Structure 1
Amino acid sequence: MNQTIRTFSIDELNPIITVNLKSENVKNNKQSEENKLKSQYTVLIQQSLLKDLEGYLIEHNKTYKELKLDYLVYYASLLNSLPSQNRSDDESDFYNVSLDSKLLKKIYSGYSKCMDFLKIKGCIKLVTNYSVDKKKCKQYKLADKYVGDQLIEYTITNRNLLKNLNNKIESEKMLYCIRKRPHLIKYFDEWLKIDCEKAEAIISGFLKTNYDKYVSGKHILKEFVNQDWKYSVKHCTDDRLHSSLTRLNKQLRNTVTYKNENLCAVDIKTSQPFFLVVLLIAILKKDRELFEKIGATKVLSDEMIDRLLLFNYDRNNIIEFINIVLNGDFYINFSQSLDIEYNTENKPFRIVVNYENKKRKIINYSKPQRNETYETDREFAKSVIMEILFCSPNHNFIGTKAFKKSFPCVLNIMNFIKKECVELHTLLTNIESHCLLDVVALEFAKKYPDIPIWSIHDALVTTESNINLLKDEVEKGLREITTIKTLENNNIIVKEIW
């Protein structure tokens, strides 16, 4: 299996932070809720690993200075919890995890003794040492003998450890999303439940077939059972709300209910191309007010907007792109422009860069390429479009060549934004978050305060009985913000029945 390496930020390394939002308290007193933070929590650890640690400690503590089981379990559990809180489409991302020693030390000054003990006893492996040049922390992974093992809950009871962990709960960053988007966390309450038996059956099926899904599934199940809701807003990147629902595996969605009613979503099909269209319309109209209305001014300066408005472009080429996105399935349309190869199972595949760390664009030079397989031509095309949006303006591959052939002017604008303004994907996700979460969802919550609403990236979620109402309001709201008048006719906004 190809293995890539992940580096976690300070927010991601913080211990599990839980905010217990009870329905009436959130609705009536947001400020008091900010102070109601749970101080107890459990971690998940492999059953055989815990058993081994208990045995190793008995022998160790007979001769050497005593080590505490809670500390060892906590540090080992990070190799499960951190990847689970930051799910990736690449399952190999689960196996190697970068940990910052400064952050580990904040939890316990003697952290190095714990990490050394875990390494010496063969519980974890050091994959890569700290590198100043590459700005990479030490990278660890669980010993192979524990990968594939059943996870069990372990409750932290050590007072000193709990005290250090609880200091993190006071963090203003963890309360940022409560103040920024209270309407989207209001209904993370006691009525939001999961069918434990049904969910456990699905998760158990992953144990031997897809271990990373098993690990993430066990963590999310624990969150729902304990109602230890987690949410955060990465305002410096995509500005989306990341929550217990966004990390819920799609196969588990039909196990979640609110007041015994199933949930459904209103989704924006081809979301990133759609919000690129929204931006292009503002450029075509040379409409500064529209830039502000869609939230682009949160990311683009006045000078950047001035340069975009002066950009020399082929108006007809942009309009052609807009029409294809708005009047059909853009990914299916674009797939017809690609030379797609198929494997022996007749599934489309392509050769992609094999990254050690995709966010930092660090290539695994021991094996710089890998095959990526897709279920459909549409998924193939979507992956290519995402690479075009995320890649450097100088990156030239089969996707950019096909896109340039069909939409040269659109690609020029995209590359100009990447070179002279900001990361294009950052701009588009910020426009999406502003339009969908900060305007449409907020207006819906004000208009219908007793109807539950949540978000999952580019989708809004509610109960099944309210899905048609939510769809109508999303269409109406986006129509007013974007000035696109035909949203209700072109299947851009669709219902997703869980």
Structure 2
Amino acid sequence: MKTLITGKEGVMRTKIKNRVFFIQLDENIFQRLKYEVAQNNIMYPKGDENIQLDIACFFVNLIDKRRTLLGEEAEDGYVPLMSSILKKYYYDYKRYINFLRDNGFIEVREGYSTFQGKSKQYRVVPSKEPLILIQRIPEDSVFSKKIQRIETKERARADRSCGHLTKWLHPRYLSINASEANKKVDELMSQGYYSDGHYEKRRQKIDLLEFGYISYKREGKDNRLHSILTNLPKDLRPYLLFQQEKQLISLDLKSSQPFMLAGFINMVIEGKNNEVDMSVSKILGISRRKAISDIIIMWKEKLSSIAIAELKAYIKIVLEDDIYDYIGRNLSPEFINKKSRLGRFGDKFYSKSSGVKKWKPFSNLRDFSKVTFLEYLYSSEKNNEERIQEVRRIIPRAVSDLICHLKIHAKNDFPIFLQNLESFLIIDEITRKFARRYPKAPLYTIHDSVATTEEYAHVLKETMEKDLFNFFGITPNVVTEPWSEDSSEAA
């Protein structure tokens, strides 16, 4: 392997179709891994127990990179990886997982992946020494080419469906001011803003962007475009640059999921049947589309005048109030008293990775209400947590009735429906049309938000508001957020 030291001038990189490929890992872990592989291969120079250093490094990198991409969604640093994913990289992946686990490089436990079913969870055991990130080019050309082919296929699938977005996810357009970003991260770490895990995640992201490793794919049931930007910490955004000099500005759809639900409800009660049919048709999975379509038809036929009034009340809350503040204001005093601890508000949330409930504090009541409302939207109707019962009490009954109907067959049907609707509108409609009109405008999506340069921010905001209104029949709140240090948040 060739070692690429971060920050060193004149670094050589392997490129596949003008994109960089390397394995990133901690130098301390690598040196220990190199030693353990050598010791293992002295005992087993050939056969099923022999270990290739390149492949062992790759699996460590794969797990840690997945943790970095998932961000806060990686509970306790553990990430779910289906056996089918591991196997596509190397047929005998279990040999390497067992080797890494038995030698203390990774930890493995049973877990659960919300949309994909049961899978094991993996975590790289961090070194006790200070983090030293290195980028390495595999010497095994056969294995290296296989990994590159997989990544190329993932990008190609995304390119076919949203090339107007992925063309900008390239190092010749997107870069980071690494020196300033690292300086800020080190400063915040010294001031106690980060845990070790948060610090390492930021260092990894900075290095990946500095070396031009910009991955992306559009896969999964949510149909969203996932890229290195998807879970980029907000405090790193000010250091992102377009063409080495221009900062980006994002246009965020406020309360996106509640708004999507409000918009869909409005289409149904206003008889916008073409838009309703189009919304359902964009759901991935033919059986799921048919089931949801039938449910909506039956639900609409049974709507009473009282139910319609309740649905309109929900739309009004979303448009004229802040839905999360509204929920917070209407939580019962008894519930609030129960969930206050040492001057902070929080609750115990179930951790799928550990299988136990853990206390999670929130900086304010709105943040708690947001997490709880989204949990209410996405969880099973059998969820009887007290906070979920509070939301059911606060939200108009007709809205809860619709959500309940859309979860009859599977609790995931409803969140997948909302996510597919969001992806269709943001990726396939709004940004695609905007790109045709302004082909030189850079566009970067992070689910419900779109980032561009100052030159195009105003017209993009107007376009998003107009297109969403034309589709739903209600006016969205699109918020402009410059990616500057003043607007960033240390997390």
Indicate the residue corresponding to 2:31 in structure 1: 51
Per the TM alignment, residue 386 of structure 1 is displaced from its structure 2 partner at its CA by: 0.5
Counterparts of 2:478 and 2:69, CA distance in 1: 28
1:96-151 residue CA offsets vs partner (Å, 9 max, x unmatched): 65462x65455445545444443443333444599xxx975554433465597443
Are residues 1:184 and 2:165 paired? yes
Indicate the residue corresponding to 1:304 in structure 2: 295
Indicate the residue corresponding to 2:418 in structure 1: 428
Residue range with higher mean Cα deviation, 448-457 or 72-81: 72-81
Distance 1:79 1:324, change over 3 A: same
Distance 1:270 1:46, change over 3 A: same
Indicate the residue corresponding to 1:462 in structure 2: 452
Indicate the residue corresponding to 1:401 in structure 2: 389
Contact between 2:164 and 2:432, CA under 8 Å: does it hold in 1?
Answer: yes
Per the TM alignment, residue 345 of structure 1 is displaced from its structure 2 partner at its CA by: 5.0
Distance 1:231 1:122, change over 3 A: closer
Distance 1:111 1:394, change over 3 A: closer
Contact between 2:255 and 2:323, CA under 8 Å: does it hold in 1?
Answer: yes
Contact between 2:262 and 2:315, CA under 8 Å: does it hold in 1?
Answer: yes
Indicate the residue corresponding to 1:224 in structure 2: 209
Counterparts of 1:279 and 1:135, CA distance in 2: 28
Aligned residue among 102, 113, 122 for 2:104: 122
Indicate the residue corresponding to 1:318 in structure 2: 311
Contact between 2:214 and 2:228, CA under 8 Å: does it hold in 1?
Answer: yes
Are residues 1:386 and 2:362 paired? no
Are residues 1:441 and 2:431 paired? yes
Are residues 1:355 and 2:352 paired? yes
After the TM superposition, which residues 102-121 of structure 1 pair with which residues of structure 2 at under 5 Å, given as runs?
103-108=85-90, 111-121=93-103
1:417-468 residue CA offsets vs partner (Å, 9 max, x unmatched): 1115872111111112222222111121111111111111101111123222
Contact between 2:177 and 2:240, CA under 8 Å: does it hold in 1?
Answer: yes
Letter paired with 1:384: T
Are residues 1:240 and 2:224 paired? yes
Question: Helix, strand or coil for the counterpart of 2:169?
Answer: coil
1:309-364 residue CA offsets vs partner (Å, 9 max, x unmatched): 213341111111111110121111111111334655522111222322xxxxxx71
1:40-65 residue CA offsets vs partner (Å, 9 max, x unmatched): 62222222211212333444444540
Question: Helix, strand or coil for the counterpart of 1:419?
Answer: coil
Question: Helix, strand or coil for the counterpart of 1:449?
Answer: coil
Distance 1:79 1:280, change over 3 A: same
Per the TM alignment, residue 395 of structure 1 is displaced from its structure 2 partner at its CA by: 1.8
Contact between 1:49 and 1:146, CA under 8 Å: does it hold in 2?
Answer: no
Letter paired with 1:340: I
Contact between 1:44 and 1:77, CA under 8 Å: does it hold in 2?
Answer: yes
Contact between 2:377 and 2:414, CA under 8 Å: does it hold in 1?
Answer: yes
| Identity of matched residues, % | 22
Residue range with higher mean Cα deviation, 440-449 or 199-208: 199-208
Letter paired with 2:175: K
Contact between 1:46 and 1:146, CA under 8 Å: does it hold in 2?
Answer: no
Counterparts of 2:119 and 2:262, CA distance in 1: 39
Tell me the TM-score normalised to structure 2 length: 0.81
Aligned residue among 447, 450, 453 for 2:443: 453
Per the TM alignment, residue 73 of structure 1 is displaced from its structure 2 partner at its CA by: 1.6
Counterparts of 2:74 and 2:90, CA distance in 1: 32
Per the TM alignment, residue 408 of structure 1 is displaced from its structure 2 partner at its CA by: 1.0
Per the TM alignment, residue 91 of structure 1 is displaced from its structure 2 partner at its CA by: 4.5
Indicate the residue corresponding to 1:142 in structure 2: 124
Indicate the residue corresponding to 2:276 in structure 1: 291
Letter paired with 2:210: V
Counterparts of 1:265 and 1:103, CA distance in 2: 33
Contact between 2:229 and 2:446, CA under 8 Å: does it hold in 1?
Answer: yes
Question: Helix, strand or coil for the counterpart of 1:405?
Answer: helix
Distance 1:386 1:148, change over 3 A: farther
Per the TM alignment, residue 83 of structure 1 is displaced from its structure 2 partner at its CA by: 1.6
Indicate the residue corresponding to 2:480 in structure 1: 495
Residue range with higher mean Cα deviation, 458-467 or 392-401: 392-401
Indicate the residue corresponding to 1:252 in structure 2: 236
Question: Helix, strand or coil for the counterpart of 2:380?
Answer: coil
Contact between 1:254 and 1:262, CA under 8 Å: does it hold in 2?
Answer: yes
Counterparts of 2:359 and 2:281, CA distance in 1: 39
Aligned residue among 71, 75, 95 for 1:87: 71
Distance 1:371 1:42, change over 3 A: same
Aligned residue among 382, 405, 417 for 2:406: 417
Residue range with higher mean Cα deviation, 414-423 or 471-480: 414-423
Counterparts of 1:213 and 1:120, CA distance in 2: 26
Letter paired with 1:251: D
Contact between 1:223 and 1:229, CA under 8 Å: does it hold in 2?
Answer: yes
Contact between 2:16 and 2:148, CA under 8 Å: does it hold in 1?
Answer: no
Question: Helix, strand or coil for the counterpart of 2:441?
Answer: coil
Per the TM alignment, residue 238 of structure 1 is displaced from its structure 2 partner at its CA by: 1.7
Contact between 2:80 and 2:122, CA under 8 Å: does it hold in 1?
Answer: yes
| Corresponding residue pairs, total | 442
Indicate the residue corresponding to 1:16 in structure 2: none
Structure 1's unaligned 5+ residue stretches are 1-34, 357-362
Contact between 1:50 and 1:73, CA under 8 Å: does it hold in 2?
Answer: yes
Aligned residue among 195, 207, 213 for 2:198: 213
1:178-204 residue CA offsets vs partner (Å, 9 max, x unmatched): 111111122223132210112223444
Distance 1:476 1:412, change over 3 A: same
Counterparts of 1:149 and 1:90, CA distance in 2: 20
Tell me the TM-score normalised to structure 1 length: 0.80
Per the TM alignment, residue 281 of structure 1 is displaced from its structure 2 partner at its CA by: 0.6
Question: Helix, strand or coil for the counterpart of 2:434?
Answer: helix
1:289-322 residue CA offsets vs partner (Å, 9 max, x unmatched): 13135x2332343433322321334111111111
After the TM superposition, which residues 333-352 of structure 1 pair with which residues of structure 2 at under 5 Å, given as runs?
333-338=326-331, 339-341=335-337, 343=340, 346-352=343-349
Per the TM alignment, residue 276 of structure 1 is displaced from its structure 2 partner at its CA by: 0.5
Counterparts of 2:110 and 2:472, CA distance in 1: 48
Q: Say what the alpha-carbon RMSD is for the aligned residues.
A: 3.0
Residue range with higher mean Cα deviation, 257-266 or 35-44: 35-44
Question: Helix, strand or coil for the counterpart of 1:355?
Answer: coil
Indicate the residue corresponding to 1:8 in structure 2: none
Residue range with higher mean Cα deviation, 52-61 or 434-443: 52-61
Counterparts of 1:264 and 1:52, CA distance in 2: 43
